[in-house]
Structure 1
Amino acid sequence: MAQERLYDWLETEMRTLSYSMNPHEVPEYVKTNLKDDLRPYQEEAFRRFQFMQDNTLATGVSDAGFQRKHLLFNMATGSGKTMVMASLMLYLFKEFNYQNFIFLVNTDAIIKKTQENMLNSQSKKYLFDPQGLVIDGQSIVIQSVESFPTVKDKNTLYLKLTTIQKVHGELTRPKENGISLDSLSDEDIVILGDEAHHFNASTKKEQAQEKSWEQTIANMLYLRPNNKLLEFSATINMDDKNMAEKYSNKIIYKYDLGEFMNDGYSKNVLRLQSSENDEEKMKDALLLSQYRKLVARSHGIKAFKPIIMFKSSKIKISEQKQADFNTIIEDLTVESLVKYLKKRQSSVAENGTLAKVFAFFLNQDLDAIIREIQEDFESRNILNANEKNMLNVENAVLLNTLENLNNPIRVIFAVAKLNEGWDVLNLYDIVRISEGAGVTRNATDSEAQLVGRGARYFPYEYQGKQSYKRRFDKENTDLRILETLHYHTINEKGYLANLEKSMNAVNLISARDETVTVYATKLKQSFKKTRVYQEGHFFVNERRATTAEDYASLDKFTIPKEWETDYIGTTFETNYQGQVIQDEEIQREWEYLQVDQRFFKKALQRNPFYRFDNLKTYLPLLKSKDELIESEDYFKGVALRVSLPKGQTLADLTAMEKLELVDRFLAYCADKIKRNFKKEIGLKTFHPLAIRDTLKDYEVVVAHSETGNKQTTQVIQSTTMKGKDWFVYTDAIMNGLELGLVNLMGSFIHRLEEKYAQVYLIRNDEKATRYKLTEFGGPRGYMPDFILYLENETFVYQIFIEPKGDFLEKQDSWKQDLLYALNGDDIELIGEDHHVRLIGLKFYNSNNKREFVQELSDKVNDGQLLDGRIDIF
């Protein structure tokens, strides 16, 4: 058995210099065939799978004691595991010719959800490009099947959606139109296991069942050497000895709920801990939900419909609470509501959300408010998920479309049916009904899981833009309420202790509602009196729209005139576990393919990207498709250099095989064109911005997390900067890494003050400025975290500094490139002579202090080390 966990080993291997010089990238055909962009962590999961499947690296994988046949992705609830599955299906189909996929789940409801994800191109939940899949110019189809056909269409992926219970029954008792071990033995299959923790159990009965299910899966997996099992789960407990032994050499990627929440892809989670009875908790949730709707409306956010869920322990209690809720709605009057608001206002924390909500309603036209509440929450807009008719799969779809505009539901009453397989994004309030509720660890584990599902982010549209990440984390704005899930629970010591343990176990970051703090900082008056503030300037680079001349030929898209490809890929022999037992490459020879224009015309017709109306978007000077073939600016003169197995020549290829090579080249070109086409680009010409018009006082809102692994959160704190005139703000509001940089600068700032008359470190917080650079030749904007301003009689230096955690360096490498490009001789500052210089430094982190200080010293202190006391380690 491997001595270390697979995901730890991969983390090390993929950070080596040799690998980082030539890392795997998500293929463009995967990106273009998905409806939405892969998020950075999904791309990382994909790259890790590429690493494991790369035959040139297979020997190293085997030597380290790992295998490639059975892998598991441990990813948080709501993080888009199914999107990763979809991308891997395309990759395995294109690169390894897999066509048979078995999607294995635990419930019929998840099957219905997956059908929407994978097969229904009309669904909002569909993951692929609804216009159709295209790979190498060929239309690709995903077909749902009960059994895999013996005669296959080469452009079809065959997908069997089933439960572990059903497939176990099929294989132990074969029947017509189903699968059997005999039928599966003819072709390679990929098994995709969703919510894989269901295949593992704790009770004796469950363990016996698990053993039987595991054997069924193993029987399928080991039928053929190249079969694969890819499991996906949010809840693999590696602290459990048996689980660790089973999966430590299989978990390829770990991205837990804490990381997911910390990266901004979820709602914030706040707990409203109340000693009040269920009726008052219901009223509080009702008012809070309607407050969210009215806040959204006041900011021009249309059709915002927040959902409340009332969670009970028993069906009878749930039904009674639904009746109680209906009575609350029916009995609302202005007098009763005013009385309730004033009573509750005196009993809640002054800095809490409910205090704000109650104050808001006391200043509204309550007659109009009540009319709208009674309309929104009438009985037909309330769904009880415990009713017998909720067991059918159609109602499972209804529950998964609550965010649709034509779905009027505002309230869900439930017991346990929605703990899994429920993908609703606009759930904002979960109310724990106290009557009959359990306080044990098992009960709170279930609650933590439900809250984790409810924390999924709702991507509403604001100011014409739709975001899939939180936008107002640090802002003191009422819009934060649209990015916050409230869990209404009881204030009981033993229960809260168990709830905290349960939330910590799944790394769910949460805080009590009243712990939210607003930190404020101001520009120091001493700085505002300086000439730097009153007369000084920052410099920001200009942007311009691209022109037709920018894309006048294919070389503008970095498409070479000579392109190389393999006709037949390198082959490796593997054993039954997928480990390499012979890694000798087939000898190959190169030959140039002379491409007849007819092949080009046919290949262009086969690829929808090359429709003339579409091409004009990217190649505005193109006059006709004939010009595309006949002009030196485009495809005329292109050479295709083909690698063939030794002894084989291009003359041995059929016309169709040659056409497929041209298809592949055109697909490559289409990818390059789409990737390099920009509507607007940043220039190396900079114009001045008055510092006094750029910097301002600002506030940052911080929730002090009480559950979740603190190591995954960037704890924001406020530190007074009194007596440090070189820092322009009264307080430094920042995370630990950023504060570490400020303290490091403070340790040698006196050395800079000996050399420069004016020395200021300026925090470039997005709440304080709108100072943003634009990547050269690209559209992306970037706000460096700090600007070090140095001025003497001869020069003004503006040094851009960015603290960056190790785990972000790769995905933000373009920002590092931009910083270094600032040091070039081709930077033009409008209105300035040569006495102003912009300087970009390497990213700062806690592991490179010496290198960082040395680079800064080289730039602004004639190479003399500013601080010789920097620790090496």
Structure 2
Amino acid sequence: MAKTKTKINATLNDFLFNQIENDPAYIAWQADYTIPEYVTDNLSKTLREYQVVALKHFIWLYETDRANAKHLLFNMATGTGKTLVMASVVLYLYAQGYRNFLFLVHQIQIKDQALKNFTDYKFEKYLFNPKGVRVNGRNVAVKETKSIADADRNAINFMFFSTSLLYNRLLEDRENGLTAQDFVDNNVVVIADEAHRLNVDTRSKKKADVEEVRNWETAVLSAVKAREENLLLEYTATVDLANQAIHEKYKDKLVHRYDFLQFNRDGYSKDVKFLYNKEVHTEDQKRLLIINAVALSEYRRLLAEREMGVDMKPIVLVKSVKIAQSEEDRAFFDTVVSSLRPDDLKRLQELGKENHNHEHEILKDMFDWLREPKNGMVSQGDWEGLNKFVSEIRASFAHDNTLIYNSQKKEKAELLPLLDSPRNTIRAIFSVNALNEGWDVLSLYDIIHFDISEAKKVSLQDIQLIGRGARYFPYELPRSYKPDADDGRLALDFTQRNLEFDKDRRKFDNAPFERGRVLETFVYHFVKTGMFLENLQRDLLGEGIINEGVERKTITLKQKFLESETYKKGFVLVNHTVKRTKTTDDEIDTTFNRTIKAGLYNLRARGLSDYEQNQQIASQKTKVIRITDEFFAEPIIRKALVSAEANFFRYNNLVQHIPDLKTVDELIEKYLPKYEITYTYEDGKDIGLLNAQEKLQLLVGAILPEVRRRIDIFMPREAGSNKFRPVSLSQVFGREKNIYLMSFPSIDPATGEKVFISTDERAKAQSDHDNPDLQFNVEGADWYAYSENYGTSEEKRFVKYLASQIEDLHTKYKGSEIYLIRNELDYWLYSLKDGRRFSPDYMLIINDVVNQQLYYQVIIEPKGGHILEQDAWKEEALISLNDDSEVVFDTNENDKQAYKDYLAEMSKHGYKEIKPIGIKFYNTDPRPESEFALDFESKLLA
């Protein structure tokens, strides 16, 4: 009988995570809710946006519907940081009174990795703050324990079990060990990693044979149900929602879903490429695969080190067909590397020269880079740099820099968790399937598939392993990094157009053929036989690990604009971040003259039942208190400031937020008393009845976290400078730019060939748009600088609006050149308030070339209604330009002479007025267009 399959996408709206997302109450709650500092401060890494969403989903459900939070599943793709979400949930639950966390894994190797991740503060991938965990002002130990009987009631206690071991313990009680009764007597959180392994019983129910109903899955669920407060939290990258039984089981349990496709779209993964041999019967197929991989790997290392300032040791994984072959493959690898000669690279050179449709761009870049003298490879008589390059490869991939890891031989296993460290020396690993799951390495860039048979098929293990290799290796792109084509632009960081500077995201999506792209490109090496490549691509597409295709849209500056005075002599005004040097009265008022809500802060050993919560709420009272000696003795206030918020309230940190602060005494005597605190308490817990320890906990746990939040928001350490300096417009905005969009297959009706078409609105040209509300002849608009507009629907509406105002603008600014320029990550603006950076969509230049009375740079940002609220800070940044900015021609110490000369020349232009102008967001829903129009007209046409 065929398995029953369920159409996943058709039913996803029914799942818990979507129910939460669409709940109006949740939407309102999450907009104002901030993850508690006792979570964020106690993690070793900053949570990414999607991890914050996962945590918010859980906290919302836990606090509003405790019963339905009892058994939940987090479905997060490989590499998305499931373990950091686990650690965050652990910290949150600790603050709710939980102390015992049972970590459940399928493999011993994953167990060992988890043990270090959660309990070894010296481990480089330790999840908690290595300086120590502090919750509510108290140091909290994080430790491993073998049983609940040995647990520390004030610590975070982890118990690590494989699934089989836990099953045996639950069936057979042992002295001094975990027992089934422990789940009855204590609050326990079971965390199941790679949770798809938990569904043995769920799957078996679809079969006739149900004799083994009481397997370990049943045992775990029984243990969790033994006590009302017990929780089961599953985490997996793989959940078979197409299986009807599993689909039904998790519909009301799937609290968060973040698949690899979204992970890829958000820029958190490597780009996946293939490099393969075609001639199946050619001799030395394995030799060619090895040469390809080690050459690319060593090129990555050298480029990273010598050009990009990144210390990394890229890993090559050699996937053997059978365990017995691992030793043979390693010996063969050693022979190839030790005998490597420059002539062995000739085939790669040929591929790099062919490079049809950029198919082998990395290879072309590699040999071009080797030939550049500045990179240290070229020598007398070796103008291609191959001799030195081969020597580097042989040294890097020597025998001692390789290891074998499989189910029978785990050589140097202690080094596996250290592969991403700059101190790592391992460059090649030989394995079969032992590393498919649970292997946490980001520096894996090349996999060699050593199955060269014509009959080889794509396996789930292949997909899992490529998914692991596709995880992004985070690195900082140096501000001094120069694109391949040196077009003479000034070396200023804001002119690095199209590049992304977020450490954790791909840097070159808008410049996909840039040389540095090799640091975010994973390569799978294999012999192409039969339908292997096609099937591999199909399966990787299905998982979202690779994109179906890329559609490129090219726009160019119009000839009229290129010939204009604005392009030839015009400029853009830029600012930078600066440390805040003074505190304004408005900032003090906004930060400290506020109300804080603070409830009685009890540290409970267990969570309250619904009945207990209702009883507590019914007896609550409120009163207004302040942080003064009337309510808190000064020694208690000082101790709280030392204990709270991971040293945030130490003077050397506070003065970076409040530059005028003279001492901590001033904070205590002048600023903290300004807060009006609404204190909620139960009978017998009035502020006057609390003892010193309870008052300390009230300050540390409930009041000071809110104080810190307000200081962080309203008095940040940095701000955008209000001083703007000119930079040549022609150096910021390129003559041609490419927009790359994720696309999907279609058939060209004219040619019958397969083409890739993007469904993104940005793929549609405005000039021939099929929607009359969005269509406008951009090509014929001489005031629009670029040849076409591929913007969002709101951006296209804005262009149509501006078209209706152009005549009035020319009437008011007679003789001026007026141009609208689309900004594709070319120009960046730093908020004057807090220094946050963003790239506004459009720049309108009004240049009085005849009289030189004025030069206006008008910044405009169309904004969709769904992100108006979250991007409100950008609108505030734009509006602040009008009154708070000034244009200067001063030089700085680090300015290059070419820029100093440029500033001197610009200062001679003689414009009477030069200024940046910011307009409110352009939006047509939910706001009326007239709201933008009024602001636009008042600033430019009044």
TM-score, length-scaled by structure 2 = 0.78
Partner residue of 1:780 out of 836, 840, 846: 836
1:219 aligned to 219, 222, 225, which one? 222
Give the drift of 1:790.
6.4
Deviations 1:316-337 (A, max 9, x none): 4444333332222222234x33
Q: Distance in 2 between matches of 1:261 and 1:223?
A: 41
Q: Which runs of 5+ in 1 are unaligned?
A: 864-873
Aligned length in residues: 826
Q: Deviations over 1:797-816 (max 9, x none)?
A: 75544466777666544324
Provide the rounded CA distance (Å) in 1 between the counterparts of 2:329 and 2:355: 24
Distance 1:206 1:160, change over 3 A: farther
Task: Please list, as runs of the form range in 1=range in 2, the aligned pairs for 1:6-85 lying within 5 A after superposition.
Answer: 6-13=16-23, 18-19=28-29, 23-55=32-64, 58=65, 67-85=68-86
SS at 2:134's partner residue?
Answer: strand
Q: Give the partner amino acid of 1:119.
A: T
Query: In 2, Cα distance between the equivalents of 1:557 and 1:396?
Result: 55
Aligned residue number for residue 191 of structure 2: 192
2:808 corresponds in structure 1 to 755
Q: 2:919 aligns with which of 812, 822, 840?
A: 840
Match of 1:380 in 2: 400
Aligned-residue offset at 1:819: 3.9
Asked if the contact 2:82–2:235 (Cα under 8 Å) also holds between the matched residues in 1, the reply is: yes
Residues 1:178 and 2:210 aligned together: no
Instruction: Give 1:250 deviation, angstroms.
Output: 0.9
The one-letter code matched in structure 2 to 1:354 is L
What's the CA shift string for 1:513-554, capped at 9, x where partnerless?
A: xx889876543231022344356554445754312x428999
CA shift for structure 1 position 413:
1.7
Post-superposition offset of 1:590 = 2.3
Which residue is equivalent to 2:617?
A: 585
Alpha carbons 2:657, 2:716 under 8 Å: kept: no
Alpha carbons 1:309, 1:414 under 8 Å: kept: yes
Distance, in Å, in 2 between the alignment partners of 1:714 and 1:206 is 49
Tell me how far apart the structure 2 counterparts of residues 754 and 618 of structure 1 sit (CA, whole Å): 47
Q: 1:527 to 1:628 in 2, by over 3 A?
A: closer
Q: Distance in 2 between matches of 1:354 and 1:268?
A: 15
Name the CA shift for 1:51/1:701 in 2 (closer, same or farther; >3 Å): same
* Inter-partner Cα distance in structure 1 for 2:856 and 2:657: 40
Map residues 43-192 of structure 1 onto 2, 5 A cutoff: 43-55=52-64, 58=65, 67-94=68-95, 96-149=96-149, 152-154=152-154, 156-192=155-191
In 2, Cα distance between equivalents of 1:819 and 1:419: 49
**Alpha-carbon displacement from aligned partner over 1:35-60 (angstroms, at most 9, x marks no partner):** 221111111111111211223xx4xx
Secondary structure in structure 1 of the residue aligned to 2:185: coil
User: Partner of 2:300: helix, strand, or coil?
Assistant: helix
CA deviation vs aligned residue, 1:386-436 (integer Å, no higher than 9, x gap): 373318xxx444222212233211111221011011111111111222334
1:749 Cα offset (Å): 5.8
Which range moves more in the overlay, 654-663 or 263-272?
Answer: 654-663
8 Å contact 2:568–2:730 — kept in the other structure?
A: yes
Counterpart for residue 401 of structure 1: 418
Counterpart CA distance in 2 for 1:385 and 1:369 is 28
Partner AA of 1:421 in structure 2: G
Q: Secondary structure at the match of 2:33?
A: coil
* 1:621-679 Cα shifts (integer Å, max 9, x gaps): 656555554x3x24467665532124653444333222322333345434544555533
CA distance in 1, matches of 2:169, 2:806: 79
3-state SS, counterpart of residue 22 of structure 2: helix
1:105–1:163: 8 Å Cα contact kept in structure 2?
A: yes
Whole-angstrom distance in 2 between the partners of 1:811 and 1:87: 23
Equivalent position of 2:718 in the other structure: 680
Is residue 259–residue 713 contact of structure 1 (8 Å, CA) maintained in 2? no
| Secondary structure, aligned partner of 1:261 | helix
Contact 2:854–2:911, Cα closer than 8 Å, also in 1 = no
Q: Aligned partners of 1:473 and 1:200: how far apart in 2? A: 39
Contact 1:552 1:619 in 2 (8 A): no
Q: Distance in 2 between matches of 1:711 and 1:243?
A: 35
1:368 pairs with 2:388: yes
Task: Tell me, in whole angstroms, the C-alpha distance in 2 between the residues paired with 1:178 and 1:570.
Answer: 28
The answer to whether the 8 Å contact 2:319/2:448 transfers is yes
Give, in angstroms, the shift of residue 617 of structure 1: 5.3
Structure 1 counterpart SS, 2:459: helix
> Is the partner of 1:487 in helix, strand or coil?
strand
Task: Indicate the SS of the match to 1:159.
Answer: strand
2:818/2:846 contact within 8 Å kept = yes
Q: Which has the higher contact order (CA 8 A, sep 6+)?
A: 1
Instruction: Give the residue type in structure 2 aligned to 1:838.
Output: I
Shift of the 76–526 alpha-carbon distance from structure 1 to 2, 3 Å rule, reads same
Change (3 A) 1:435 1:693: closer
Residue pair 2:169, 2:178 contacting (<8 A) in 1 also: yes
Which piece of structure 1 moves more, 687-696 or 316-325? 687-696
Is the alpha carbon distance of 1:807 and 1:575 closer, same or farther for their aligned partners in structure 2, counting shifts above 3 Å? same
Deviates more, 1:102-111 or 1:336-345: 336-345
Q: Is contact 1:728-1:760 (8 Å) kept?
A: yes
Which range moves more in the overlay, 308-317 or 245-254? 308-317
Answer yes or no: is the 8 Å Cα contact 2:865–2:926 preserved in 1: no
CA distance in 1 between counterparts of 2:436 and 2:129 reads 30
Aligned-pair identity (%): 29
CA distance 1:197–1:208, change in 2 (3 Å): farther
- Residues 423 and 788 of structure 1: is their aligned pair in 2 closer, same or farther, counting only changes over 3 Å? same
Correspondence for 2:335: 327
Corresponding position of 1:290:
298
Q: Quick one: distance in 1 between partners of 2:712 and 2:938?
A: 45
Is the 8 Å Cα contact of residues 773 and 782 (structure 1) preserved in structure 2? yes
Change (3 A) 1:174 1:560: farther
What TM-score results when the alignment is normalised by the length of structure 1? Answer: 0.83
Cα separation, partners in 2 of 1:208 and 1:729, compared to 1, 3 Å: farther
User: Which sits farther off after the overlay, 833-842 or 477-486?
Assistant: 833-842
CA distance in 2, matches of 1:97, 1:817: 41
Residues 681 and 16 of structure 1: CA distance in aligned 2, closer, same or farther (over 3 Å): same
Distance 2:602 2:393 in 1: 64
**Residue number among 392, 398, 410 corresponding to 2:427 in the alignment:** 410
Shift of 1:197: 0.9
CA distance in 1, matches of 2:744, 2:294: 26
Q: Does 1:311 align with 2:311?
A: no
Q: Name whichever of 3-12 and 795-804 sits farther off.
A: 795-804
1:484 to 500, 507, 521: 521
Q: Tell whether the 8 Å contact from 1:384 to 1:413 is kept in structure 2 after alignment.
A: yes
Partner of 1:550: 583
Matches of 1:843 and 1:499, distance apart in 2: 45
Offset, 1:302: 5.0
SS of aligned partner of 1:97:
coil
Q: Distance in 2 between matches of 1:319 and 1:206?
A: 42
Aligned to 1:866: none
1:418-817 alignment, distance < 5 Å: 418-436=435-453, 439-440=456-457, 443-463=458-478, 467-475=503-511, 476-492=513-529, 494-510=531-547, 521-534=555-568, 538-540=572-574, 544-547=578-581, 549-550=582-583, 555=588, 558-560=591-593, 563-567=596-600, 585-591=617-623, 592=625, 594-604=631-641, 606-607=643-644, 609=647, 610-611=649-650, 629=668, 631=669, 633-635=670-672, 641-646=678-683, 648-664=685-701, 665-673=703-711, 676-682=714-720, 691-692=729-730, 694-700=732-738, 702=740, 722-730=779-787, 738=791, 740-741=793-794, 743-744=796-797, 750-757=803-810, 760-766=819-825, 769=826, 771-789=827-845, 800-802=859-861, 812-817=871-876
Q: Tell me if the contact between 1:551 and 1:618 (Cα under 8 Å) persists in the aligned partners.
A: no
Deviation, 1:731, is 5.7
Secondary structure of 2:148's match? coil
After TM superposition, give the deviation of residue 783 of structure 1 in Å: 1.1
Contact 1:683 1:776 in 2 (8 A): yes
Residue type matched to 1:83 in 2?
Answer: L
Give the RMSD, CA atoms, in angstroms: 4.2
